[in-house]
Amino acid sequence: MHCPAVLLLLLPGGAEAFRICAFNAQRLTLSKAAREHVMDTFVRILARCDIMVLQEVVDSSGSAISLLLRELNRFDGSGSYSFLSSPSLGRSTYMEKYVYIYRSHKTQVLDSYMYEDKDDLFAREPFVAQFTFPSKVLPSLVLVPLHTTPKAVEQELNALYDVFLDVSQRWQTKDMILLGDFNADCASLTKKRLGPQHQRPLPCGSRAEPGGTQGPASLPGCSVAGAATPAAPAGPAGLNQPGACCPQT
């Protein structure tokens, strides 16, 4: 199971930090969610985040997410959770969903849409959502999830710039975070292969294997744009890549 990428945003004025996460659920089905040890792991991971973007949700009925939400609300009594799901996405009989799970007492969905992938560049086109944000400086934030297919990582990551432009034009904002699983490790991408809109290659790291060992793997990643950008100069497209964070337990 992949560890989640966590982006910790520190809000001005002494406000509580806000955690945005991305997590590859590795083919989440109802039967998988019904396993007690799996559910316990999912719930403990989700409870660390204010907004979580789940990827590889393959349960078409929605029952797995309903079960997950019920157990999450039972586990964490600090406030209720809600979810927002994309339709099933894919080019074959294998389909996935993007699912946002969020603390509804801390944030709400302002709007959402499926990116129109006219040239079929994405195996699973981004499901874009705009959330309220507890900050006067940054009252709203757009999240753009993308689970790339390993054989077309370069093409899909370069096409993300078009998504960035589309969101910017549609909602008149550049305050957004692009979230993976980008399937982008050191072996799959180099700075030379990426388009000019990327400042540097996406980071590589390690993940926790079931046996407790560590090994190189592709991690979920994040790119930040606009007012949410960390204190670093932006690239030509206004995109930065602070990297994927794998929290230790």
Report the catalytic residues: 96, 147
Cα gap 108→105, rounded to integer Å: 8
The C-alpha angle 58, 60, 65, rounded to 5 degrees, equals 75
Tell me which long-range contacts 239-243 makes (C-beta under 8 A, separation of at least 24): 239/161, 239/164, 239/178, 239/197, 239/198, 239/199, 240/199, 241/198, 241/199, 241/200, 241/202, 241/203, 242/7, 243/202, 243/203
Q: How many CB atoms lie within 10 A of CB 131?
A: 22
